[in-house]
Each structure stands twice: as structure tokens, then as C-alpha cells.
Chains A and B, each alone.
Chain A
Amino acid sequence: MKKKKWYDYLWIVSATYLILGFFNILFAWIGLLCFFIPLLLAIFGGDKLYCNRYCGRGQLFDLLGNKFHLSRKKDIPGFLRSKRFRYGFLIFFFIMFFQMLFNTYLVFQGTNSLKEAVTLLWTFRLPWNWAYHGTAAPWVAQFAFGFYSVMLTSTVLGLVTMALFKPRSWCVYCPMGTMTQTICKAKYSCMGCGRKKKYRREPLT
């Protein structure tokens, strides 16, 4: 049995994050760490250390699916793990993310008013006014509502696929995972190019 390290308990952070959003939506801003840390680790470290070690969400699904037996543990359908679906979902996720940023901008500009709601699965608008106490600028709160919507939606999708397939099925089509893997592959192939160029520049003997 492997000895557990501090980072094996990061599922507590993920669960706490989701719970905090029910009390004060401004905590949603903390979720940006889940975007920046994996990207920075991929860009500068050239690996998926975040997915492999620190992702609290993956740990949460692992715990619920394996320890709590909430997963059927069946193989994920082929289309869900296909490159087309993974990259398609990444693009869709990007579009929805930029739409959320644009909404924030419109509130910042004063064109739109703040909507105290969380949109689940990009469709269902849930009233969430109890979690905003008017302590921040409207655009700050709008971003928090939008970002929490992204986080809650991805958690719900992850829970559904956890239950239907294997515990960490979300990892297969997680946009951050796809993005960081793409960065790592690009980084490695570029390193390969660099080596080739360097090799070519070396004088022939």
C-alpha cells in the first residue's frame, strides 16, 4: 500500500470549493487556480503533473466511484474517447468560456445588469441570489456567477459519466486535460525540432 501524501487529500479542497459557492459566489474566483496551475505546469514543466497528482476533482470522482461504489465501472463508449469528441468539447468549452467573459465585460461596461443566477449545462438558469451579498463590483460578481456555472456544469457532467462509466471518466474529455496534453505534445515535438536543427548545424566530420 502506497503511503498517502498531502496532495492525495486535495479532493477536500475541490469539495469545499463547490460548497462555498452555495454561500458566497465570490469564492468562485479561487477556481481560476484550476485553470492556471495546470497550464503553467504544462507550459513550463512540460508534463501533466496537475492531472496526475494534484487534481482534486479527479480524486473526488475516484473516491466517490471506487470507495463509495457510485460507479458502474464500465468502459466508456468509443466516441467519448475519440480525438474528434475530445477536441470538439475543448472548442465548445472555449466558446462558452469566452461568451462568459463577454457577459462579464458587458456588465463591466454597464450595458447589461448583473444576473444573480448560475447556468447549469449551459441551458438551465438557476436563481442563486442568496449567495451574493452585494460586497463586490457587479462585474466581479458576474464573473463569479459565470465561472461557478462552468465549474458546476463540469462537475455535474463528471458525476454523470462517473456513475455510468469508470470513476475518472471526466478525465477523458476534460478540456483542461486535453489542452495540457496538447501543450505537452507540441512542446515535445518542438524540442525534437530544436534538437534536429542543432544537430543539422553541427559541422560534418
Chain B
Amino acid sequence: MAAKRKAEVDQKSCVACGACAKACPIGAVAVWKGMWAKVDTGRCVGCGRCEKACPASVIRMKEVEA
């Protein structure tokens, strides 16, 4: 079974700037109530753009079983 990549946010360290939401090409990341970023894992295609954009480096791409 092929492994897929999904973005994962370390919510405790997230600064909620929204750089990830702007970088996401499909709008699968959003800042939730001004507290931290949340990824819609169902929609995330694992492109890694949010990981690159995150200034606090709190987003990591995690391999999940497809």
C-alpha cells in the first residue's frame, strides 16, 4: 500500500499567522479561531507548500497509509 503525505501542525507552537493558508493551493489549511492552523486531512494533497511557508516551522509532512 502506497504511503501518502499529509501536513501536520504542531498546534502548541503555531503562531496563527496564516502563511500556510495563503500558501495552500486548494484551501485545505485554515487558521482556527485565531489560535492555530488546522489541516483538512481529507483534502490535503501533501504538496508541502504550507511546510515551506510556515515561518515558525511548525508544519511537517507526515506519511500516512493510503
Binding site for B on A (CB under 8 A): 1-2, 42, 46-49, 51-53, 58, 62, 73, 75-76, 81, 86, 165-172, 174, 177-178, 180-181, 183-185, 188
Contact A166 B16, CB 8 Å, known A52-B31, A180-B34: no
Please, which residues of chain A bring their CB within 8 A of the CB of B15? 81, 86, 171-172, 177-178, 181
Closest 9 CB pairs of A and B: A52-B18, A184-B34, A171-B17, A48-B34, A47-B34, A168-B55, A75-B57, A166-B55, A81-B56
CB<8 Å pairs between A and B, sample of 29: A46-B33, A47-B31, A48-B17, A48-B31, A48-B34, A52-B17, A62-B19, A76-B56, A81-B13, A81-B56, A81-B57, A81-B58, A86-B15, A165-B55, A166-B53, A166-B55, A166-B57, A167-B55, A168-B19, A168-B53, A169-B55, A171-B19, A172-B15, A177-B17, A180-B34, A181-B35, A184-B16, A184-B35, A188-B35
Any chain A CB within 8 A of the CB of B9? Answer: no
A-B contact count (CB 8 A): 82
A58 touching B34 in the complex, CB below 8 Å, given contacts A165-B55, A169-B55: no
How would you classify the secondary structure of chain A's contact residues: helix, strand, loop or mixed? helix
